[in-house]
Amino acid sequence: MEVAGGSTARGVDLQQGTNLVATYQHWNVAPVPSRIGGDFSYFMMTAVHSGKAADVYNWSLRNWGRIVVWDKTNYVRRFTMSRAFA
């Protein structure tokens, strides 16, 4: 997964791409802190090259909703992923 074009702007789409070992393809994944509603089963993804967080655009609940990067804030509405155990 990468930030389209390696952009550092807000609202740029995330996409699949060929692994180029570029910093815009690297992510910091950290648990959502408990002080903002996290219980360590949800995670925030932050782009290494820009510090911007993955976000579901306009809080979409629709299939094929856009996933973009946006300024990192402490709101739980930021894109989170749940850990799957197999």
The answer to whether 73 and 34 have CB atoms below 8 angstroms apart is no
Domains of the chain: 2-82 (2.80.10.50)
- Confidence band for 65, pLDDT divided at 50, 70 and 90: confident
Q: What is the gyration radius of the CA atoms in the chain, in angstroms?
A: 13
| Whether 46 contacts 72, CB under 8 Å | yes
d(CA 29, CA 43): 6
Confidence of residue 33 (pLDDT cuts 50, 70, 90): confident
pTM: 0.77
pLDDT at 25 over 90: yes
pLDDT value at 78 more than 70: no
- In tens, the pLDDT along 2-22 reads 999 999 999 999 999 999 999
